[in-house]
Every structure is written in structure tokens, then in C-alpha cells.
Chain A
Amino acid sequence: MKKVTLTIDGKKIVADSKKTVLEAAAENDIYIPTMCYLKKLNPIGSCRVCLVDIEGADDPMTSCQLPVMEGMVVSTKSDRVIELRQLMVKLILVNHPVDCTVCERSGECRLQDITYEFGISRQDLKAEPVERVKKYDWKLIRYNPYLCVLCERCIMVCHEVQGVSTYKIKNNGFRSVIDTVDEKPLDCDFCGQCIAVCPVGAMSSGLVLQARSWELNKVRSVCSYCGVGCPINLDVKKGKVYRVTSDDNIGINNGNLCAMGRFGYQFIDTEDRIKTPLIRKGDRLVPASWDEALKLVSAKFKEIKNSHGGDAIAGIGSERASNEDNYLFQKFFRTVLVSHNIDNLLNMENSSFGSEVFEKFDLPIINSTEYITKSDIIFTFGADACEENPVIGNIIRVTMRDREARLIVGSSRDVGFRPPPDFRMVYKYGTEVLLINGIIKSIIGSRESEGIKEFLDYLKGIKLEDVSSRTSVSKDLIKAISLSLIKSKSPVILCGREIYKHPRGVEIIHALQNLANIINGNIILYREYCNSQGVNDMGVLPDKYPGYKNVADLEAKGDFEKVWGVTLPVKGRMTAGRNIIDDVVDGKIKALYIMGEDIVLRSHNGNQAREALKKIDFLIVQDMFLSETALFADVVFPSASFSEREGTFTNMEGRIQKINKAIEPIGESRADWVIIKELANKMGGSFKYSFTEDVFKEIAAAIPLYGGITYSSIKNNGKLANYQSQSKKKFRVVQHSEIESIGDSDMPFIFLSGNTFFHLGTLSRKSAAMNMLTSECIVEINPSDAEKLKINDKDTVTVKSKNGNITIKTKVTNKSPQGVVFIPVNFENAPANILTNKKDAVIRVKIIKNEQ
């Protein structure tokens, strides 16, 4: 990059030629006041607070928009500039009512700061008031035009970072106000980015800030929703979380949050929280003391262990619990109950992405998101980058803006992106492998490439016409995509939920690996929950010790026996190929300990899960809420939410991040690991941990992946775990195979399920703000299909599969291609998982319109 030399306030500075004067000054610790400037946005230049004098120029200029030039002489503190800046702030203040006493932003308001900084104590300008309309009907966002200084930060952040572009400036001149583009009540992503960037209180949260900003104590934590793991601040006062904010320049999110992250914190202290342990007495769950509950459980466990052996007790770990919880959970089972009967839902559904993640994939699919920011082409496959993990969407969008990166979106649903992607392909569900092989074929073409001969031979057998007709992606599109992939210097491939929930997920990843090898790219795999990665790392798996050491491996067994000081069972899980719920139904398991999972709603086979829970002799559920699963329980342990305890989460890129205690646990709830510790000690184990740090120390010692990381060294940006990156290129022949489809001949629709935009799992359903945005389950259906069935938007229909049926409302949308319906899994009143029963099959459904 070209360098230029300039002088700022008499100091000689060398800066990149693409930098602005403001950036160059900031790099050299020269302070220029700003108001509308925000590092993550392009310069806006509306406030004129950053004026500087340039030698040779008639007028002062705004430094945020001024590129550095060779030999430029800048003065930031001349009298004229200081006077003009003051006048600018006075001009802005003319229309700004001094409502600081009731303003949400008071105390962290940029205009307040600037006013103090410039020493403006007197307003000598006057303006006549203009009538404006305050917006209270924008759901989670409020706009007060009286306070607005028209800095346009909200417009820019909405356009550049969030891609929604929902705001505009309405009217001209002094009548200007911010409004939505269509001038209707706001209906957007509700990410609240506009609230975060507003320098004054014009944009404020619909969840009224009940405290004042200076009273709030910011506790750094990690968002407990999806796998991105955005660092957040819990703003706490006197034992209550009042809001969630995020700092710029920290972590992977750079201050961006999604709707759930910013507004979905209300679950922390809802009335629904379980406050004491509950014990079943007859039909009812009645409150009990901790001692009582723990005694009951330990006695029951001992009884079952003695009579049926440790293998009769099983445990399900949680993708939402911290590493420490999961580590102690598996340790409890392996050392105290002497059983490997533990698992997590991700692994139960598709073990390739759980226990076998390193065995199956040579090229690690756990990669830092930094690859995205350094890429010039981004290929999202089976992922909805806008909705699945909105913050990853933000990273992609900013990369597209800054590096002019191109985006290819491939999905079996018509997901799209904002701004529109360069290429967009909608393929037929189940033909992913064929499509990727087609793209590889088109890239390699006839040229002889290094690699396995076998693989090349296989490719020779593929015909593009054939691929095109079977995947319903046009040949030209495949060719155009391969052309742009060849040209790319640093491509990155993102795979999302559709792949890791796919019956052929492993094959798809292998095929994508082949593709990545050829184009020299990296794969990043989305994770659904905040600790989906960690729960597997911690070895909450039936056939793997922590760190993916095989249970059958005697060396590993010896290592862990040394660390834990006990003799470990040699045998793995008793029945191969069948998961815990299968065994419960078979009657082989007498007691089940579920930590922080709602298997009734999250298991891929809803009917079977319900049956199993009815059948089980003794069920312990450890959760924050009385979930659908907890209703079946014999004992319920109240666990503390992420804000009430310490611990670590491992996010989708393998970054270990620390959560901190912000408030005291609600009621008598306790951190999960504390409950497990107490239970283990009651049953004769010797779990001697006083702090979370003690557990982490053991984790770091026991698992090479986490080796060398100390609890105190995990700072703001977290620490990447040591997932070795294996650079050897390995090609595998991956053949397309048809997937079995379950359904009668009159069931025409392929059924896909996932999370809705404003919910993740069932946790967000406990947050009033999120329910306000979406509270009803809907089935998404293509307009042409809807027309055939004579269904309109918002009709009530029954969706029927071979396993069951649910009654929900419809949403007619182009997002679902023809022959595909989509139902979210988040709603307890319409559990989509009762439609499915088998993991490696496509479920077909039919839709029947309900008569009114």
C-alpha cells in the first residue's frame, strides 16, 4: 500500500494513502472530536464536529471524509476551527430539547459529552419549535424526532451493516426526520443496531430502560443464544439485568447484535423461573429443599446402580450449558456411576458433527471467522446467512462492503441475502452432493489436476446436463459460479443448519472439502447453540472421552484414570447404533438425568421422546424453566442462568469465551456444575472444586485441545482452542445417493424444519420481547402450491405426516420453493418434531385446509 507523509499539529505522520485524516490522527494519538463518525461505518460527515484546518484551503474541512494527501499540513486546534466547532454544536443544540432528566441516553450521550468538552454553557441561538411526531408504534424501537440530531448513523448502520435499509430521511431542511422507507410502522430485523449507534436518545429501546445509565454496572459476558458467541455486556443494577449492550472493536461481532441477543434477555428473571427444587408427589411437583431433593436422587441412583448396574442410568448433556457443567456431568457419570451412558442431542441426531467431527473430516471445519473477513468470495451452502446467525451475516456484509467480496448463496430454500448476492441457486433438497460434484467438474473441466486419480475418474462420469436437470440448477449458473470460484484468491465456504441437520450431511461436507481443496478455501460450519461445540469437546458422548479420545482406546482410558483417580469402565455404550431414547423405550434404562435440554421439543423424533419420558422410572430434569420435558420429571433441579454464574462457552469457531456472574441466582437456583458436584459428593465421589476456575484447570489439563489455556488468560476476545489445522489435501470420492423418503403417495411436500428468525430453541420463548415479534407457529408454503390447494395467507391448516399431525397457520412466501414446506421448531403449542421419526430420511407431508 502506498504511504504518504503529512503533518498534523506539527507532528510528521506517515499514513496509508487510503486513510482519512481522522484515522491517521487517531493512529498517532492526536485527538479530533467527532460525533457522527463511527469506525465500523463509512464516514457520514453530517455533524461537522471533526473540522480541521488545512494549509492552503480556504475553508476548514471535515477530517472524517478527507483522505490524506502527500505534504498536507493539518491543524486541529486553530482558533477558527474551535470556534466553528462550537457553533456547529450550538446549531445542533438549538433544536435539541434539554430533556436529559428523562432521556434514556443521558450519561452516555455523545452530544452531552461534546457540549461539556467544548465548554458550551450558553445558547445564544434560538429557533422556533417545529411540530413532530414521536414514533411509539415501532415495536421494539422508539424514535423521538425532537431529540434527533440527524447524524444518519442509524440509516448507515441499517444499510451497511444490517443490510435492511429500512430508514430514510423524510422531508428536507429543518423538517427532516428519520422515518421508515415506506413510512409505515417499522417492520425489520429488530436488531436494535440503530439504538446502539444513536449518539443521543432519539432511537431508544421499546423495552424502556428502567434504570439510568450511570447506575448500570457493565458485566462482560457471552450471549447465550446461538453458536456465534457474541461478547455482550449485561448492564446490571442491584441484582437485575436492565439491558444488553455490546462494545465495538471487541470479539467477533464488533458491537453488532441480533434481536435475540439485544432484546431476548428477559428470560433471566421472568416469573416462570423455577426457584426451588421440585419433587413429584402424586401428580404434582411440589417445592422441596435442596437437601431433600439431592438425597432422594442419590438414594434412587444408588438403588438402581446396585440392582441394575450403572448402565441403567443415562444422562443427556446440554448444548446451552457451559464447558464446566458438561465436563463435570460426564465425569459424574463416568466416575461415580461408572457408565458411558451420556450423550447430547446434536450427537444423537448426527454423530458426524458431534463425536466424529475430527475423525470424519481431515480438514477442520472449525475455523475462525477471520477467514470471512479476509476472503474475496463467500459461498454459503445450506445456510441462511441473514437469519440463521445474523451476526455472521453482518460480517459477510461488511466484508462485501470493504473488500468488494462476492457472495454465492446456495440453499434448498430461496433464502437470498441483503444486499442481493452475486449468485443465487436454489437446488432440490437431497441433491447437494451431485450439485457440488457438478461444480467441481466444471472447475476442473478437462485439465489434469493433481489429486487422487480415482477422484478424477469418478468426475469424468458426471455430465453437467445431468446435474443440471436433477438439481434444477441451470447449467449456466453452475458454470458462472465455478468461474468466479476459480478466480478467487481466498474463498470461504459456510455451511449452515440445512447441512448439519441433513441425512447426508457428512457426504455434503466431504464434497465441500473436495471443492475447498481445489479452490484453496476454508470451510466454516455453523453451530446452533452457544456451546454446541463445547459439549462435544467436553466428551458428553457415549463413545468418546473429553477431547475426542476413544473409549475403546486403552491408552486414553489410562490417562483419564490417572487424572480422575478411579477405574473406568472398558465397555462403551451398551447398544451400538441406538441412542439413549431408543434404549429408554426398550426399557434398558431405568433412570434418566437431563441437564438443560427440552428433548420433547428438540428431539428429532417427538413421539418417541414423549413415549420414552412416560415410560422411564425415574427422571431428573435440571433446567431454568418448567419445560415440556420437566413436566414429566420426578425431580427438577433449578439451574442458574448464564448471567448468574461463571463459566466458559466454546463457540462455532472454537473460541473459548468466559461468562461472568452479573447477578445473584434467582431463588435457590444453583449453577449446573455446583448441583452435579453436590450430587456426586453425596454419592461418594470426591469432587473438590470451589470455583469454576478449578474445573477449568482440570479441563485444560485433561484435554489437549484446551491445553495451555488458563482461566484468567481468557480475556475479551476469548482464546481459540488448539484445533490443529491439518493442511494435507485429501480427496474423497463422494457419490450421490438417493435418500429414503417417508410418506404416503398423497404426501407431496418435503418437510423442512428450523428456527424462526426471532426464536432459537425454546429459550427465547420465555422472553416477552421476542414473543411480541413472533408468537405463532406458521408453515411456509410456496404461492403456487398454496394456489393449488386453495390456501391463503394466515389460513389454518393441518400438516400431516405418517407419524402425526399438527394444526398451524400458513404463510405464503416465495422463500419456500415449490414442493417444500418449512415449519419452525420453537413453539410448544405446535411441536414440529412429532412429524418426524427417523433421522436419515426425508419426511413427506400433506397439507389439509381446515374448514372454519
Chain B
Amino acid sequence: MSYELNYTVGSIPLDKLKPKKVRKNIELTLWERLYIPEIARGMIVTTRHFIVNMVGFIFPPEGKKRKIFTVYYPEEKLTIHVAYRGRPVLVQREDGKEKCIACGLCERICPAFAISIIGGERQRGNDMERYPVSYTLDMSRCVYCGLCEEVCPYEAIVMSNEYEGLAEYDRENMIYPKEKLLVPVAKLQKRIEYVRKIYGKSNYDLRNMI
């Protein structure tokens, strides 16, 4: 019988997927253990930033380069890197329906118990398809850890770059129903690709396999 390797892990070669070693219990050198020079070094860094920012505040530069760290929010906003974990959103397919299949893995993995799903079935073409009848995300519990995104086998939930408008006066309003979570797939393409890369996910998009 033919032996064929079934694994092709996206663009990342297998050997590079090994976890990096983390250094723990770093031994301090004598110089560091003396503390005084290190404190002085820290003070220099702080002072430098203070002066640079103060000068920048008085004479705001045009086309600001990132030398000055202060951002004049909300007039000014940062460009968010694709790796940023904003509020989790559900991916909406081109036909307007959610990509989620209510497999319940995110509900299981969620460390804060923020997600709850009720599954169901609906017609798709000639076949039936599983979908979440209700998908609620309790934003008052969400810890933005991104585990739901990592575990999702269908790329149906991703962390968006939204971080605004999440605070509420009423806790009830922080429970997001499915409708509030849906975001068209076109807007999330970058993040989805990024997720594929970092989690080596492209091999288990089941829709492609069936």
C-alpha cells in the first residue's frame, strides 16, 4: 500500500515550527547586581523620552516620525499591526451568512467562559449545514487571549483590530449577540492570512479537504 505524507504545513517548513526556548532564571552579572549603574541607566532612558516628548509637544513635527511616543488620542490614532488582538469577531461569508459551524471548540477553550453557542442546521444547496443559531460573546468576560482564534478549525472567529467602543455603562450591553459580531470576510482577509501563518493552519481548513 502506498505511503504518502499527508502533511503540508502552509508556507512554514516543519522544522521551523518547533517552539523557541525561553531563558528563565537569568544570572545577573556583578555590574547589574550593583544596581546603582542600572538605576542610572534607566533614568537616562526615561529622561531622554521625557525631553523628546516635551519638545515634540511644544513644536509638533509635521508627518510625525516615531521618535515621539505620545499619541494624541482620539484625534490621532495608531496604525494597528496585523498581530494586534482586538475584539473577537465572527467571519461573515460572501453570501452574508456566518462561517462558523458551531463546533464548540472556542466555547471549550475559552479560559474566561465568555462564549456560548447553540448550534443548529440549515439548508445549503442540497445538503444541510451546521451553523450557530445563537452565538453570544460576553465582552465583559473576554480576556482577548486569542485562543478562540487559534483553535477555530474553520477560520470563523478572528481577533479584529477594533478596540474602541467596548466600554458600556450597562453589563447587559456587553453581551454581544451573533449579529453584533459578524464582520464581512473581505475586511478580515489580512488577519486570516496572518493567522494561517502563525498557527500553521492552512492544512486543516476542512472545507478545502472535503
B3 within 8 A of A: yes
B111 within 8 A of A: no
Q: What separation, in Å, do the CA atoms of A106 and B103 have in the docked complex?
A: 9
Minimum CB–CB distance for A720 against chain B, Å: 41
Using Cβ atoms and an 8 Å threshold, which residues of chain B touch A211?
Answer: 104, 118-119
With beta carbons under 8 angstroms apart, the residue of A123, A124, A212 that contacts B103 is: A212
Residue of A134, A209, A211 with most chain B CB atoms under a 10 A cut-off:
A211
Closest to B206 in A: A101
Are A124 and B3 in contact, with the CB atoms below 8 A? yes
Minimum CB–CB distance for B110 against chain A, Å: 12
A102-B130, A210-B120 given; A124·B101 CB < 8 A: no
A300 within 8 A of B: no
User: Which of chain A's residues 177-229 have a Cβ closer than 8 Å to chain B?
Assistant: 208-212, 214-215
User: Which of chain B's residues 92-128 have a Cβ closer than 8 Å to chain A?
Assistant: 101-105, 107-108, 116, 118-121, 127-128
With beta carbons under 8 angstroms apart, the residue of B103, B104, B210 that contacts A97 is: B210
Closest to B118 in A: A210
The interface on chain B, measured as residues whose beta carbon lies within 8 A of the other chain's beta carbons, has a size of 26
A208-B121, A211-B118, A238-B116 given; A122·B6 CB < 8 A: yes
Are B104 and A212 in contact, with the CB atoms below 8 A? yes
Q: What sequence of 0s and 1s flags, for each residue 121-142 of chain B, a beta carbon within 8 Å of any chain A beta carbon? A: 1000001101001000000000
Are B104 and A215 in contact, with the CB atoms below 8 A? yes
Using Cβ atoms and an 8 Å threshold, which residues of chain B touch A136?
Answer: 128
Q: What separation, in Å, do the CA atoms of A208 and B102 have in the docked complex?
A: 12
Q: What separation, in Å, do the CA atoms of A123 and B2 have in the docked complex?
A: 10
Are A101 and B154 in contact, with the CB atoms below 8 A? yes
Minimum CB–CB distance for A524 against chain B, Å: 43
Using Cβ atoms and an 8 Å threshold, which residues of chain A touch B209?
Answer: 98
Are B103 and A101 in contact, with the CB atoms below 8 A? yes
Q: What separation, in Å, do the CA atoms of A136 and B103 have in the docked complex?
A: 21
Q: What separation, in Å, do the CA atoms of A125 and B101 have in the docked complex?
A: 28
Using Cβ atoms and an 8 Å threshold, which residues of chain B touch A214?
Answer: 104, 108
B153 within 8 A of A: yes
Using Cβ atoms and an 8 Å threshold, which residues of chain A touch B130?
Answer: 102, 208
With beta carbons under 8 angstroms apart, the residue of A102, A125, A134 that contacts B1 is: A125
Q: What separation, in Å, do the CA atoms of A208 and B128 have in the docked complex?
A: 11
Using Cβ atoms and an 8 Å threshold, which residues of chain B touch A208?
Answer: 119-121, 130
Using Cβ atoms and an 8 Å threshold, which residues of chain A touch B116?
Answer: 238
Minimum CB–CB distance for B47 against chain A, Å: 55
Using Cβ atoms and an 8 Å threshold, which residues of chain B touch A102?
Answer: 101-103, 130
Q: What sequence of 0s and 1s flags, for each residue 100-142 of chain A, a beta carbon within 8 Å of any chain B beta carbon? A: 0110001000000000000000111110000000101000000
A99 within 8 A of B: yes
Using Cβ atoms and an 8 Å threshold, which residues of chain A touch B15?
Answer: none
B4 within 8 A of A: yes
Q: What separation, in Å, do the CA atoms of A123 and B133 have in the docked complex?
A: 34
Are B121 and A124 in contact, with the CB atoms below 8 A? no
Q: What sequence of 0s and 1s flags, for each residue 1-13 of chain B, a beta carbon within 8 Å of any chain A beta carbon? A: 1111010000000
Minimum CB–CB distance for B132 against chain A, Å: 9
Q: What separation, in Å, do the CA atoms of A365 and B61 have in the docked complex?
A: 99
Using Cβ atoms and an 8 Å threshold, which residues of chain B touch A124?
Answer: 1-4
User: Which of chain A's residues 72-113 have a Cβ closer than 8 Å to chain B?
Assistant: 97-99, 101-102, 106
Q: What separation, in Å, do the CA atoms of A429 and B118 have in the docked complex?
A: 52
Q: How many A-B residue pairs have CB under 8 A?
A: 52
Q: What separation, in Å, do the CA atoms of A99 and B133 have in the docked complex?
A: 19
Q: What separation, in Å, do the CA atoms of A551 and B157 have in the docked complex?
A: 69
Using Cβ atoms and an 8 Å threshold, which residues of chain A touch B1?
Answer: 124-125
Q: What separation, in Å, do the CA atoms of A134 and B121 have in the docked complex?
A: 14
Minimum CB–CB distance for B100 against chain A, Å: 10
Minimum CB–CB distance for A210 against chain B, Å: 5
Using Cβ atoms and an 8 Å threshold, which residues of chain B touch A99?
Answer: 206, 210
Closest to A87 in B: B1
Minimum CB–CB distance for B76 against chain A, Å: 43
Minimum CB–CB distance for A575 against chain B, Å: 55
Closest to B119 in A: A210
Q: What separation, in Å, do the CA atoms of A95 and B108 have in the docked complex?
A: 28
Q: What separation, in Å, do the CA atoms of A339 and B194 have in the docked complex?
A: 78
Are A123 and B119 in contact, with the CB atoms below 8 A? no
Using Cβ atoms and an 8 Å threshold, which residues of chain B touch A215?
Answer: 104, 107-108
Q: What separation, in Å, do the CA atoms of A528 and B189 have in the docked complex?
A: 61
Closest to B1 in A: A125
Q: What separation, in Å, do the CA atoms of A212 and B107 have in the docked complex?
A: 10
Q: What sequence of 0s and 1s flags, for each residue 730-761 of chain A, a beta carbon within 8 Å of any chain B beta carbon? A: 00000000000000000000000000000000
Q: What separation, in Å, do the CA atoms of A99 and B103 have in the docked complex?
A: 10
Q: What separation, in Å, do the CA atoms of A122 and B130 have in the docked complex?
A: 27
Minimum CB–CB distance for A202 against chain B, Å: 14
Residue of A102, A126, A209, A238 with most chain B CB atoms under a 10 A cut-off:
A102
Q: What separation, in Å, do the CA atoms of A224 and B56 have in the docked complex?
A: 76
Q: What separation, in Å, do the CA atoms of A123 and B107 have in the docked complex?
A: 29
Using Cβ atoms and an 8 Å threshold, which residues of chain A touch B154?
Answer: 101
Using Cβ atoms and an 8 Å threshold, which residues of chain B touch A209?
Answer: 119
User: Which of chain A's residues 317-345 have a Cβ closer than 8 Å to chain B?
Assistant: none
Minimum CB–CB distance for A101 against chain B, Å: 4
Are B6 and A101 in contact, with the CB atoms below 8 A? no
Q: What separation, in Å, do the CA atoms of A212 and B104 have in the docked complex?
A: 6
Closest to B134 in A: A210
Closest to A129 in B: B210
Minimum CB–CB distance for A142 against chain B, Å: 9
Closest to B108 in A: A214
Are A101 and B101 in contact, with the CB atoms below 8 A? yes
Minimum CB–CB distance for B17 against chain A, Å: 16
User: Which of chain B's residues 15-48 have a Cβ closer than 8 Å to chain A?
Assistant: none
Are A101 and B119 in contact, with the CB atoms below 8 A? no
Minimum CB–CB distance for B156 against chain A, Å: 10
Using Cβ atoms and an 8 Å threshold, which residues of chain A touch B133?
Answer: 210
Using Cβ atoms and an 8 Å threshold, which residues of chain B touch A123?
Answer: 6
Minimum CB–CB distance for A215 against chain B, Å: 6
Are A101 and B153 in contact, with the CB atoms below 8 A? yes
Minimum CB–CB distance for B64 against chain A, Å: 47
User: Which of chain A's residues 590-605 have a Cβ closer than 8 Å to chain B?
Assistant: none
Using Cβ atoms and an 8 Å threshold, which residues of chain A touch B118?
Answer: 210-211
Using Cβ atoms and an 8 Å threshold, which residues of chain B touch A125?
Answer: 1-2
Closest to B127 in A: A134
Minimum CB–CB distance for A598 against chain B, Å: 32
Q: What separation, in Å, do the CA atoms of A99 and B107 have in the docked complex?
A: 18
Closest to A209 in B: B119
Minimum CB–CB distance for B83 against chain A, Å: 26
Q: What separation, in Å, do the CA atoms of A534 and B107 have in the docked complex?
A: 43
Using Cβ atoms and an 8 Å threshold, which residues of chain A touch B107?
Answer: 212, 215
Residue of A97, A122, A136, A212 with most chain B CB atoms under a 10 A cut-off:
A212
Using Cβ atoms and an 8 Å threshold, which residues of chain A touch B206?
Answer: 98-99, 101
Q: What separation, in Å, do the CA atoms of A209 and B121 have in the docked complex?
A: 9
Minimum CB–CB distance for B43 against chain A, Å: 54
Q: What separation, in Å, do the CA atoms of A209 and B128 have in the docked complex?
A: 14
Residue of A106, A210, A215 with most chain B CB atoms under a 10 A cut-off:
A210
Closest to B133 in A: A210
Minimum CB–CB distance for B136 against chain A, Å: 11
Are B105 and A126 in contact, with the CB atoms below 8 A? no
With beta carbons under 8 angstroms apart, the residue of A98, A126, A212 that contacts B4 is: A126
Using Cβ atoms and an 8 Å threshold, which residues of chain B touch A101?
Answer: 101, 103, 105, 153-154, 206
Ranked nearest first, the 3 interchain pairs of A and B with the lowest CB-CB distance are A212-B104, A101-B103, A102-B130
Which residues in A have some Cβ–Cβ distance to B below 8 Å? 97-99, 101-102, 106, 122-126, 134, 136, 208-212, 214-215, 238
Which residues in B have some Cβ–Cβ distance to A below 8 Å? 1-4, 6, 101-105, 107-108, 116, 118-121, 127-128, 130, 133, 153-154, 206, 209-210
14 contacts between A and B (CB under 8 A): A97-B210, A98-B206, A101-B105, A102-B101, A102-B102, A123-B6, A124-B1, A124-B4, A125-B2, A126-B4, A208-B120, A210-B119, A212-B108, A215-B108
Task: Using A212-B104, A238-B116 as known contacts, list a sample of 20 further A-B pairs with CB atoms less than 8 Å apart, ordered by residue number in A.
Answer: A98-B209, A99-B206, A99-B210, A101-B105, A123-B6, A124-B3, A124-B4, A125-B1, A134-B128, A208-B120, A208-B121, A208-B130, A209-B119, A210-B120, A210-B133, A212-B103, A212-B108, A214-B104, A215-B104, A215-B108
